[in-house]
Structure 1
Amino acid sequence: MTTRLPSQRHARSSAAGTAMGGGAQGNDTRHGSTDNLADHAEREREETPLLVLNESGEDAPGDAAIAQRKQKGYYAYLVGWALCGLLNNTPYVLFLAAAERLLTGKSGVVLMCDVAPSLAIKVVGGAILYSTPYSPRIATTALLASAALAAVAYAQNPTQALTGVAVASLASGLGEFTFLALAGRCFAENAGGAKAEFAAWGAGTGAAGIAGTLIWIVATQVMKLTARATMLVAMPLPLLQYVAFAHLVRPVALGGNKADADDGDDADDDDSPLSWHVRMDTARKIFVPFIGPLLLVYFAEYSINQAMYLPLGLVAHHGDEARACSMYPRLQLTYHIGVLISRSSLFFIVCPYLWPMSLLQAANFAMGMMQIIKLQSSGSFVVLATFVFAVWEGILGGGVYVNAMNALGLSLSHSRKLREFALSIVGLGDTTGILLAGLLSSWMEHWLLSSHMGAATSRSLKC
């Protein structure tokens, strides 16, 4: 059995109008005015797209709402979100896939340069970028990412290359910070409900993992292009992010060409910014249930990716350096397939168990260490098992990411401003976890390689 309900915004407007009318009239006049308002509200309900309450108790769009979405290009809007996620993260993933070429045996250093500026922008962004319109932020993101690819392409030494990686990290962090806040703004204003923007953004960022890794593999291993040529080929891609935002996302999310400022639609929000006390209190309340699981799952995940993939390849291939180096980007690609699966899963299933998934990722870290240090199994079956391991690792990491964003948005469904702020800073969890993984990986990978090859041989390894 289904129950038809009017949209919340119209219900609030009708209720507010009734209260105002009742307070201004006497008893007799109030009765007549209330009748008129009731007639008006009834007509408004008949004209309003309906939401159908499904058996699980969640709001689902009715036929009228679905038709309205299609008329307004709603599905193109979701494609726009996916494209923005794809183009935001592709340079980031491309640099990680190229980590062993940029600085063999020091991929943890590449990871730190690819993450630290992103963490910095998320730390200060809530304070200094809170009132900055969305469009300039996204334009800056696209320009910085494109410039970073050019900088790495023309770098003459590792320091210059890592500087370009750091600029790309700044762009990626600014993009994620901005789009997650924008998703919070749109949270209550689309009939698709909480999951639509997060699911589309998650699918795009998950696909970026495959796109970035494939660009590197096809360019360097199939087409035999140099690292410089590969970066130059990818350089125009970030600029398309702003095009996707301007033509597909902004018309629905921000009302076309009007300013990005608050439109004040939420009855509980006024035009004043959130106070410092409210921001700190919100950050404290979301740390354990949301930021904590993200920190743990990404610390374990990126420690595996950056410190263990090359040693796992050496173990699986009996110490064959060439085959291990060839396996490294393929493991990255396989891992990103798992990320894509889980980050797209929000369209179909919600899994609120954030801490259990994070603890399973920590168990993956322990299993990888055991294989490298103790078991040291090799052979074709071990190679296959390593690829399965990479998929499972990606599924857990991506699953925690999208479900954390969705659950946080649901928990703050009463306030758009709190949603925007909380979703813009929750990324501190995954970014901090990745940064800590980079600090660990910068020496752990060398230690693991040395345990199999000797210190001198591991330092001379070139992939």
Structure 2
Amino acid sequence: MVRADHTRNFFSFWVFGLCNNFAYVMMLSAAQDILTKNENQTATKDDEHVDHCLNSTSTRFCNEMSTGIVLICNILPCFVIKILSPLFIHRIPYGVRVYFQIILIVISLFIIAFSNNVAIALFGVTITSFASGLGENSFLALASHFPQYSIGAWCSGTGAAGVTGSFAYAVMTDPRLLDFSPKTTMLVSNIVPLMFAFTYWKILVHPDTVQKVSMSKPKSWISLRNENDGDENSNGDHSMKEKISIMKSLLKYTIPIAFVYFAEYFINQGLVELSVFDCDSGFGTSPKSQYRWYQVLYQIGVFISRSSNQLIQLSLGIIVILPILQMANVFVFLVNALHPFLGNFAIACGFVFFEGLIGGASYVNSFAHIHKNVDESVREFALGTCSLADSLGIVIAAFTAIPVHNAICKSAYL
């Protein structure tokens, strides 16, 4: 490829990462707003005390429902599609997948914007999750058709999605800033799927190994052979026994990723909402605002580390240490939720930022190692399959966060 094509493709994969994860991140930032969506008279009543900073934190502040519920809806469909997709997804051309994903994102944003109760809003979140899982699996596999820089660009873009998604939601909904309603914020976000479509069909330089798709020609919607090349034993065409063997060889990458993601999402959706600060130590922010800014700081950390792969590559020995560091963060926030000792909101944000650095480093370096070290004949399958690991960790975190949240809220506050 000429240099101009490299630039276009690097930019394209960066945008793919951004657009793929933007709505997913926004759902997590909006979790507390989603759980208080016009629940008859109770939402108005609740909003009266969560929209302002707390004068005192002498008693434990707990939401009736853990934001882990939103995390379950935001990850379970993603997890399911990642499990099932290796069985059939190689028969669906990338263009069809992208088209379907964009439609799902638009539908989900409109459902959440116009929903008037929690159940409908959570249904919208599940659609977002399905779209995100389909996209991550597809674009990591698509990267096997491009040089290794595509992995770095994708990872950096997903990190940018975290920053822009969480920051945009925090800024637009903060009463002291733009003060948009959650509904308006969701509707404005529909610019993202438009960027997605334009980048895939107008900017990306498609290699000959990727099947061309015309939405006006249904016959092009199904690939009769694997897109990577003409070999019978290539990527998606491996036997089940061979696929299981490949998965076993990836355990040195997938196990650390799963543990890191379990720890960080257990913190983000189970523990940080219990680290609430009063007006003086929380810079005048409400519990809801504190939760949103936690998400922003976490995503900034993720973005920095996911964008660092061109400068710093971690060895496998360091990658396997990252879960230990992340579990140390779990310990900090668990103890603080039970017996508050972090004296200021800024200190808690510092730990959240560090948590994001660890999570982003684990993700980008693991996939970079796979792209570099796995044989080209199985690279597409390996990259797509390995994306299952982070989702597995998040699913376990989601189901763990809810009972832990409830137990802490019922415990004595010291």
TM-score normalised per structure 1: 0.75
Q: Are positions 1:345 and 2:300 aligned together?
A: no
Once the two structures are TM-superposed, the CA of residue 452 in structure 1 deviates from its matched residue by 6.8
More helix by percentage? 1
1:275 counterpart residue number: 239
Return the alpha-carbon distance in structure 1 between the equivalents of residues 408 and 281 of structure 2.
15
The correspondence for 2:165, drawn from 200, 208, 212, is: 212
Return the alpha-carbon distance in structure 2 between the equivalents of residues 356 and 181 of structure 1.
27
* Secondary structure of residue in 2 paired with 1:115: helix
Return the alpha-carbon distance in structure 2 between the equivalents of residues 231 and 332 of structure 1.
17
Q: Are positions 1:408 and 2:364 aligned together?
A: no
Alignment of 1:170-319 (within 5 A): 170-186=130-146, 190=147, 194=148, 196-221=149-174, 222-252=177-207, 254=209, 257=212, 262=226, 273-287=237-251, 289-314=252-277
Return the alpha-carbon distance in structure 2 between the equivalents of residues 359 and 378 of structure 1.
21
The residue type paired with residue 180 of structure 1 is L
Q: Residues 441 and 249 of structure 1: is their aligned pair in 2 closer, same or farther, counting only changes over 3 Å?
A: same
Cα shift readout 1:47-85 (whole Å, capped 9, x = no counterpart): xxxxxxxxxxxxxxxxxxxxx632x42112101100010
Alignment of 1:11-30 (within 5 A): none
Q: Residues 232 and 355 of structure 1: is their aligned pair in 2 closer, same or farther, counting only changes over 3 Å?
A: same
Q: Give the gaps of 5 or more residues in structure 2.
A: 36-62, 214-219
Q: Residues 219 and 249 of structure 1: is their aligned pair in 2 closer, same or farther, counting only changes over 3 Å?
A: same
The correspondence for 2:11, drawn from 79, 96, 101, is: 79
Q: Residues 79 and 319 of structure 1: is their aligned pair in 2 closer, same or farther, counting only changes over 3 Å?
A: closer
Alignment of 1:391-406 (within 5 A): 391-406=353-368
Return the alpha-carbon distance in structure 2 between the equivalents of residues 321 and 435 of structure 1.
34
Once the two structures are TM-superposed, the CA of residue 410 in structure 1 deviates from its matched residue by 2.1
Once the two structures are TM-superposed, the CA of residue 147 in structure 1 deviates from its matched residue by 0.7
Q: Give the gaps of 5 or more residues in structure 1.
A: 1-67, 455-463
Alignment of 1:122-133 (within 5 A): 122-133=82-93
The residue type paired with residue 67 of structure 2 is S
* Secondary structure of residue in 2 paired with 1:106: coil
Report how many aligned residue pairs link the two structures. Answer: 373
Return the alpha-carbon distance in structure 2 between the equivalents of residues 253 and 219 of structure 1.
42
**Does the Cα contact within 8 Å between 1:268 and 1:415 map onto a contact in 2?**
no
**Does the Cα contact within 8 Å between 1:206 and 1:341 map onto a contact in 2?**
yes
* Secondary structure of residue in 2 paired with 1:346: coil
The residue type paired with residue 370 of structure 1 is V
TM-score normalised per structure 2: 0.83
Alignment of 1:41-120 (within 5 A): 69-70=2-3, 72-103=4-35, 104=63, 105-120=65-80
Once the two structures are TM-superposed, the CA of residue 314 in structure 1 deviates from its matched residue by 3.6
Return the alpha-carbon distance in structure 1 between the equivalents of residues 282 and 181 of structure 2.
26
Cα shift readout 1:416-444 (whole Å, capped 9, x = no counterpart): 3x111111111111101111111111232
1:43 counterpart residue number: none
* Secondary structure of residue in 2 paired with 1:345: coil
Once the two structures are TM-superposed, the CA of residue 263 in structure 1 deviates from its matched residue by 6.2
1:28 counterpart residue number: none
Return the alpha-carbon distance in structure 2 between the equivalents of residues 160 and 323 of structure 1.
26
Q: Are positions 1:367 and 2:320 aligned together?
A: no
Once the two structures are TM-superposed, the CA of residue 324 in structure 1 deviates from its matched residue by 2.9
**Does the Cα contact within 8 Å between 2:94 and 2:210 map onto a contact in 1?**
no
* Secondary structure of residue in 1 paired with 2:275: helix
Return the alpha-carbon distance in structure 2 between the equivalents of residues 442 and 69 of structure 1.
51
Return the alpha-carbon distance in structure 1 between the equivalents of residues 363 and 208 of structure 2.
22
- Larger-Rg structure: 1
Higher RCO (C-alpha under 8 Å, 6+ residues apart): 2
**Does the Cα contact within 8 Å between 2:16 and 2:196 map onto a contact in 1?**
yes
The correspondence for 2:109, drawn from 130, 134, 149, is: 149
Once the two structures are TM-superposed, the CA of residue 213 in structure 1 deviates from its matched residue by 0.9
The residue type paired with residue 151 of structure 1 is I
Return the alpha-carbon distance in structure 2 between the equivalents of residues 98 and 391 of structure 1.
19
The residue type paired with residue 110 of structure 2 is A
Return the alpha-carbon distance in structure 2 between the equivalents of residues 97 and 231 of structure 1.
12
**Does the Cα contact within 8 Å between 1:290 and 1:404 map onto a contact in 2?**
yes
Identity %: 29
Q: Residues 253 and 210 of structure 1: is their aligned pair in 2 closer, same or farther, counting only changes over 3 Å?
A: farther
Return the alpha-carbon distance in structure 2 between the equivalents of residues 403 and 184 of structure 1.
16
Return the alpha-carbon distance in structure 2 between the equivalents of residues 338 and 318 of structure 1.
22
Q: Residues 408 and 262 of structure 1: is their aligned pair in 2 closer, same or farther, counting only changes over 3 Å?
A: same
Return the alpha-carbon distance in structure 2 between the equivalents of residues 320 and 345 of structure 1.
31
Return the alpha-carbon distance in structure 2 between the equivalents of residues 272 and 330 of structure 1.
41
Q: Are positions 1:137 and 2:80 aligned together?
A: no
